[in-house]
Each structure stands twice: as structure tokens, then as C-alpha cells.
Amino acid sequence: MAAPEDSLYLGFDFSTQQLKVMAIDGTLTVVHQSNVQFDSELPEFKTQGGVHIHADRLTVTSPVLMWIQALDLLLDKMKKAGFDFSLVKALSGSGQQHGSVYWSTGANHTLKHLDPEKSLGQLMQESFAVADSPVWMDSSTSPQCQYLESTLGGATTLADITGSRAYERFTGSQIAKIQQTRPDQYQNTERISLVSSFAASLFLGAYAAIDYSDGSGMNLLDIKTRCWSEVCLEATGPGLGKLLGAPQPSTTVLGCVSPHFVARHGFSEDCRVVAFTGDNPASFAGMGLREGDVALSLGTSDTVFSWIRDPRPALEGHVFCNPVDWQSYMALLCFKNGSLTRERVRNECAEGSWEVFSTALRDTPIGNHGNIGFYFDVVEITPSAVGVHRFDRHDNRVSGFSAQVEVRALLEGQFLSKRLHAERLGYRIIPGSRVLATGGASSNKDILQVLSDVFDAPVYTKDVANSACLGSAYRALHGLESVESGVPFSDVVKNAMEPKLAVTPNPRAKEVYNQTLKRYAELEDRILQET
Ligand SMILES: O=C(CO)[C@@H](O)[C@H](O)CF
């Protein structure tokens, strides 16, 4: 039996700007990392931030052959660094969500007969009916979104089935646009993959299934039956079910790595390929979330992941099948007004100093004397609103707060919004619930104290750089072990770097914020009606 440190597990992340890889051993220790930056290392594709923004400023694509050549480059880099591929027992990965790849007729045969004497870039030049894959930054498919929602009977019906209302970046509308505007290329397509299942297909040497979790980001999968929704397929394009193949659980071991990788790079022929998934589901796995947990990534925009068992899809946010527990779900909410808004208020109300900002939080009471603020410097995603709106304890609009009250109103408002919208999607604070905070603001304990008080839960911090890669490597290990023993993911990662307890909620906070949350929801509705 190989010692744990002699067995390696790989996690790849085909993200927007780069291709990354992380290797862990059987003790979950990271033993190797590498990456390929698309713009600088594959300049012949002339991308900016890994994409091409077209003249209409709405269409955004990435060259699929760039992703393929990046994989050739990355594996060569690893070999030059002395990485021993023969120790890899399983690999998995992730891809930017919603992007789509259109394999041309005959590509499956090419995948099954990859000459190890040649690179993937040389072998797959003619394998794609669409050279420029639409990616998640595209917003050119509003007509297709409107058609899909109206065909389904409205946004709410579509959200109830697929976990989200129609979004321009979601794959269903992107496929519909290709079919309508490039019928010859659609006709020459024998398979459609997501970026995640496209990457898995390269390693597998055959078309890989779309997994339930990343498939939830297409407006095509019924997230309760985990099958394609026939009505959504019919509203999108002819013969689409056959082109997509059947979706599979995210824990599926798809098979062994293609002979191309054995002969060309020295992989073991027994190395298993575990289904790839979306970057956010992979990050969810990398953070080691468990039922009742909610994770906040506090960055330029703030992202909220929560583990939910009973989903309540809404017109905001997204419910995806859970990548590590096929009977559960994960919710994803995006908030555009994040750190830039926090920095603006720090500059205007705290002399540009985080220390003065923290003092303001320590010197103002829980509940902020009933003052509530909404700070949408740019058009917010959740909810769709804009502008700064302030209310006093009697729900009267006011034009301003004192500097210290403004600082607390900003943070209470941002965290009340996150709790309100997460609960609307089905998140529930249960005994043992944890808030996991990552990103820049998670280093400020006074900010975390407000977060802990609003959620009435302890806040932990965890350095989750490259969480999508790490989550993919964990999933590779779990996929292999679950075949042999059915062990749950949480058992496989239980020795992973435990998050660090940062703060616990003030006992008085629960009563205050349960009341404030109701007022916040009513005032948000008022803003939405007025604007
Ligand atoms: O569109 C998104 C999620 O819905 C983005 O987070 C992409 O997954 C980034 F690749």
C-alpha cells in the first residue's frame, strides 16, 4: 500500500485569466503549484484578461485552442520542475462557469486517438466548430433570455426549475444564440461541453459528462430531478439533449486518464479522472464548507456561498446542485458593491484609516441607534438598485449620518443584505453554523465582529487562495475513495487546514438584528418600488 505521501492528487482550474494546478499528497499537504497566464504566455491569442471583448461591448469570448495550448505548456512546466506524474492516483478540476465549447464532427475520434508524439495543440486544430467560446463575461443574449423566460411562463418558473432566472452569461442562452446566428457551425457540432467538462474530456480522451453542479449554471438542468429540463432544451435548440450528453454526479469517476498522457507525460495508466465542475462549486469544496455554513468572500465584489438542503430559488442569486453532496445544494449570491464602497466610506468618514474605521465600529452600538443605510455606489446585482439611501430609527429618509454612524451603517447594511438574501434562497442559521470569511476585509476583526453579530454565528477565517484548485484536488481524492468506501467528502477533508476562529457573536446581538432585519427588508422593498 503506497504511503499517503507517495500518492498525489491533482486539481486543475481553467479560470478566466490563467490555467492553474495544485498537487496534494494523501495527507492533504500541497506539494506543487504551477500556472500559465494566458495573456503573457500565449500572446499569439492577443487576449486581455484571458478574453476578447468584441466591438459591440457585449459579446465576450475566449479562444478554445488557447486553453488547449495552455495545458500543453503547464504539463511541460511541471515536467521541467521534476514533477513525477506516475504518483498521481486521481485528478479533477474546474472551469469558469457558464462558458461553452462546441466540438466539431469527428472530434470524439480525435480524442480517442491522440498521438503521444504530438501536443494537444497540434492534434486538435480542427476539433472545434466554434473557435471562440462564449464565456461568463458575455452579456449579449438578452433576447434569448427573454424568449426562454416567456416560453417557460416567467422568470419565477424558470428559477424554480433550474435554480436561477435567465441570465445572459448562462449557457442555455449562449447556445441558443450560436444556433440562431451561426447555424452552419451549430450543424457541424457533435458535442457541447462546459469549460469544466471540456477540460475533463482532454484528460479522459473521450467526451466527459457535465456534472450536476456546473450544469446548474446553464438554465437547462432541473435541479430537483438532476436531469435536463425537456422544456428548457426545446426552448434552446434542436437536438440539444444529445449534444450535451447525460449529466452525472460531481463525484463521478469518469474513467482512467487517456493513453496520450501516459505515454507523453508519464501518468500512470490507473490514474482516475474525477468529474470536473465549475470554479465556484470547486471553491465551495476547497473551503471545506459543511451543512449550515455560509462563506463570504469579501473582495472588490462580495460573494456569498451557503450550503442549503431545502432550496428556495429566487429572482436573485443562484442555487446549484452541491458539488460534494448530491442530495444538497449550494447557493451563490453576488454583491457588486464590496471593498470599493468600504474604502470610499473609510476615506470620507475615517480619515482614510482602517484604524479610525475600526474605532468608529467599537464606539457605536449594535443596531446603530436604529439608523439603517444602503450603499449602492454602482448598480447593485443583489438587489438590482443604485444610490445611497439612509433612514433614521423612525424609517424617515435622512440626508446624512455622523461619520461614525455612517461607518457602522455601511457594514450593518452590507451584512444584513447578505443574510436577508441568503435566507431567501433557503439558507438557515442552525446550531453549529459557522460564517467563513475570506478576502481582504477578513483581516479586520472589528469588521468581522459586525458580521458575527448580524449572523449571530461565530466567524472563522481561512486562507483559501486558489480555493478552486484545492477543492478540485480534494475532489479527486474523494472521488477515488468514495468509489472504494462511499466515504463522505467531509471525512476526506476533515484534516484539512481548519479555519481559525476569529470572533463570536455578542449575546445581545441576536434580538437586535432579528428586528433590524425585518426593517431592512421593508426599507429595501421601499427603495426598489421608489426607484
Ligand atoms: O459567472 C460567475 C458565477 O455565476 C463567475 O463567478 C464565473 O464562474 C467566473 F469564472
pLDDT (tens digit, 9 = 90+) per residue, 69-104? 999 999 999 999 999 999 999 999 999 999 999 999
Q: What is the ipTM of this complex?
A: 0.97
Q: Can you say whether residue 395 is alpha, beta or left, with left for phi > 0 and alpha for psi between -120 and 50 degrees?
A: left
Residue 498 CA to residue 519 CA, distance in Å, equals 36
Residue 299 CA to residue 437 CA, distance in Å, equals 11
Q: What is the predicted pLDDT for the residue at 497?
A: 75
Residue 363 has φ and ψ, to the nearest 5°, of -95, 5
Q: What is the predicted pLDDT for the residue at 290?
A: 86
Cβ atoms 20, 469 nearer than 8 A: yes
- CB-side exposure of 136: number of CA atoms within 13 Å? 19
Q: What is the predicted pLDDT for the residue at 353?
A: 98
DSSP sequence for 416-443: HHHHHHHHHTT----TT--EEEESGGGG
- What is the per-residue pLDDT across 432-443, written as a single tens digit (0 to 9) for each? 899 999 988 999
Instruction: Place 2 in a pLDDT band, splitting at 50, 70 and 90.
Output: low
CB atoms within 10 A of CB 463: 11
Residue 226 CA to residue 229 CA, distance in Å, equals 9
Work out the angle between the directed axes of helices 354-362 and 339-349 (0-180°, nearest 10). Answer: 80
CB atoms within 10 A of CB 423: 18
Closest residue to atom 10 of ligand 1, CA basis: 96
Q: Which atom of ligand 1 is nearest to the CA of 15?
A: 10
Q: Which atom of ligand 1 is nearest to the CA of 280?
A: 8
9 closest CA partner among 487, 484, 495, 479 = 479
Instruction: Place 3 in a pLDDT band, splitting at 50, 70 and 90.
Output: low
Q: State the average pLDDT over residues 388-410.
A: 98
| Strand duo 100-104 + 88-95: pairing | unpaired
Indicate whether 4 pLDDT > 70: no
**Of all residues in the chain, what percent carry a pLDDT higher than 90?**
89
Cβ atoms 22, 10 nearer than 8 A: yes
- Residues near 205 by Cβ (< 8 Å), separated by ≥ 6? 111, 112, 114, 257, 258, 259, 260
Q: What is the predicted pLDDT for the residue at 258?
A: 98
- What is the per-residue pLDDT across 265-298, written as a single tens digit (0 to 9) for each? 999 999 999 999 999 999 999 998 888 899 999 9
Cα-to-centroid distance, 443 and ligand 1 (Å): 24
Q: What is the predicted pLDDT for the residue at 5?
A: 61
Cα-to-centroid distance, 468 and ligand 1 (Å): 12
Residue 510 CA to residue 489 CA, distance in Å, equals 32
On average, the pLDDT of the chain sits at 95
> 135 in helix, strand or coil?
coil
Q: Is the peptide bond before 383 cis (omega within 30 degrees of 0)?
A: yes
Ligand 1 interacting residues, C-beta cut-off 6 A: 15-16, 96-98, 136, 169, 217, 278-280
Cα-to-centroid distance, 95 and ligand 1 (Å): 9
Q: State the average pLDDT over residues 12-31.
A: 96
The reply to whether the predicted model has a pTM over 0.80 is: yes
N residues, the chain: 531
Ligand 1 pocket: which of 334, 336, 381, 382 to mutate (most atoms within 8 A of CB):
334
- What is the per-residue pLDDT across 450-496, written as a single tens digit (0 to 9) for each? 999 999 999 999 877 789 999 999 999 999 999 888 899 999 998 88
